[in-house]
Structures are given as C-alpha cells and as structure tokens.
Amino acid sequence: MIDRGFTSEVISYNRISLGKTENYFLMLFLYDDLSAYDIFQELKKVHKNKPKKVVNKMAYKNVHKRVKRLLALGLIEEIKKKFARNAKKYRLTNRGLFQMILSGNFYSVAIQLTDKRFNFGDNIIIKTILYRFIEVETIRKFFTLFRLVFLARYLRRCCEVIQEKVDRFRLLSSQYKNQNFSTEVESLIDTEAKKFIFDIIRFSDIKYAKFQAFKDNYSDPMEITDSYDEMHKDDPNYNSLFPKAALINDKKFIKSLEEVKRDFDKGSKDYLICSPN
C-alpha cells in the first residue's frame, strides 16, 4: 500500500512547461544545493571548458530570474539557513524531481540512484515508484548503460501514468477524487512495476558480453558506464544484462516476482486449457 503522503503530494501536480535553460538549471539542483550565483559561476565554467555549449551564456540577472521561476513553480525550495555573504541557497523538491523525470532528465536521475554518494531512501517519489519493489542496494548495481536506460524509462513511464491520472481526476468530482485516487494510482504504479520486473526476467539469460553491439552503437552521453563496466567485469552481478546475484537475494524483488508469476499463471491458464494444441 502506498503512503498517503505520496497521494496528497502528487494530486496537486500541474503540468509544467520548462525551457532548455530551466531544465538544465533544474538538473544542477539534482547534484547539489545551489544559489543563483553558484549557477552563474557554473555557466561560466561550462562556456570556458566545453566547446559544445549546454545553454547560452547569460548575465547574472537572467540566471536569478530563472531560479526565481523554478522557486515559484515549487520545483526548488529555499534552504532556511544562514550562508556566507547572506547567500540564498535552494534545493530540489519532490515536485522538482518528478518534473525532471517527466521532462527528459530521467537519465540523470537514474544515474544518481546508482551512486552511493546520494541517498534517495527518504524521497517519497522514489520510495513509492521504485523502492517498494527493489532494494536500494540492488538498484545501485544498475550502473551499466543498458540497465540505466531500462531504469530511466521505467521511472519516466511511472511518472507519466501518474500525471495522466492527476490530469483526469481534475475533471471529476471531489468526492470521487477522495475515494479513488490513491487506489487507482497504486494500481497504475504496480502495473508498471510488474512490466519492469517481467522484462528483467525476460532478459535475464542474455550474457552481458552479447550486448556489446548495443553499447557500441548506442549514442548516449553516459561514457562513464564504459569504464565502470570494465572495473566490475569479474563481479557476478555483471555477467548478465541485469544483476542476477543481487536480485536473487533481494526480498522485495522476489516478492514482486512471485506476484508477477501468479498473475501470469492465472491469466494464461484459460488460454492454455482452450488451446487446440
């Protein structure tokens, strides 16, 4: 059963349209708490060190203006703490993380979930759509290109179905909202999770080495995965497309897998009985 705090959080989410620059700023907050000046300084470094510019160069006042818009939209929040030079620093909110996944920065979120330096264990969005089904430490072993792509797409699909449900519920009566929203959202997330787990099993016997052609031809900025794969080539969790050794010992995953198996057996039974073969 999902936390009531989750449904009360997401039921208020409106669709938000952000520009390229605002999406980039939002991504920066995924990595650290920042002030508008911090972002301004980061932009100066980017334009100095990278020939391909991520965003256009801009004056501090324009950086500040965009940070204020992110704040007004509830995607970041001010940290109530004293900083040097009376700086105002901001951090990513649950709403901001949800927006990142929806808006195309879902690969960055997936990478963070596998990084031990970052802790999403208490984040109500990630807890609800991911950690109910697979343990934190198992997800940390998803740091190969294929696993990251697979995980990122799952996160995005979950947030998409949640936002679609929120959009539809805005058209319904308040009484129906209160009675059904939590149950229906939970059902939608559970369905996506079962698809995710079924696909993990579907690909489980493919040896990782056989998937190198995909990696070599896949255009993606996450080059770091190549060196990481090399470092862990002797780890049993990296002999196949998914970390089988970790998944086998993951109680949440096994419980979820048992539910998938029951659903599959129940759904296929009538077809098999009636089949002329």
Q: What is the pLDDT of residues 100-129, one digit of tens each?
A: 999 888 889 999 999 988 888 889 999 999
DSSP state of 250: -
Q: Residue ranges of the alpha helices (H) in the chain?
A: 4-10, 20-31, 36-49, 60-72, 94-103, 106-113, 124-126, 136-139, 145-169, 174-202, 212-217, 224-231, 244-248, 251-274
For the ranges 137-151, 166-180, 194-208, 238-252, the lowest mean pLDDT is seen at 166-180
Sign of CA dihedral 48, 51, 52, 56: positive
* Whole-number Å distance between alpha carbons of 3 and 235: 36
Closest C-alpha among 194, 200, 196 to residue 248: 200
Instruction: Return the SS3 of 105.
Output: coil
The answer, yes or no, to whether residue 245 has pLDDT greater than 60, is: yes
| pLDDT on residue 217 | 41
Q: How confident is the model at residue 236 (pLDDT cuts 50, 70, 90)?
A: confident
- Of 72 and 233, the structure prediction assigns the larger pLDDT to 72
Check residue 213 and give its pLDDT: 41
**What's the pTM value of the predicted model, to 2 decimals?**
0.85
CA–CA separation, 255 and 194 (whole Å): 11
Higher pLDDT, 99 or 169: 99
CA distance 126 to 187: 16
Grade residue 240 by pLDDT with cuts at 50, 70 and 90: confident
Overall average pLDDT of the 234-245 stretch: 79
The tokens for 214 are 């995909």
pLDDT exceeds 90 at position 22: yes
Q: How large is the average pLDDT for residues 52-60?
A: 77
pLDDT of residue 45 exceeding 70? yes
Q: For position 193, what pLDDT does the model report?
A: 97
What is the spatial distance between Cα 204 and Cα 241, in angstroms, rounded to a whole number? Answer: 6
The count of residues in the chain is 277
N-terminal to C-terminal alpha carbon distance within the chain = 41
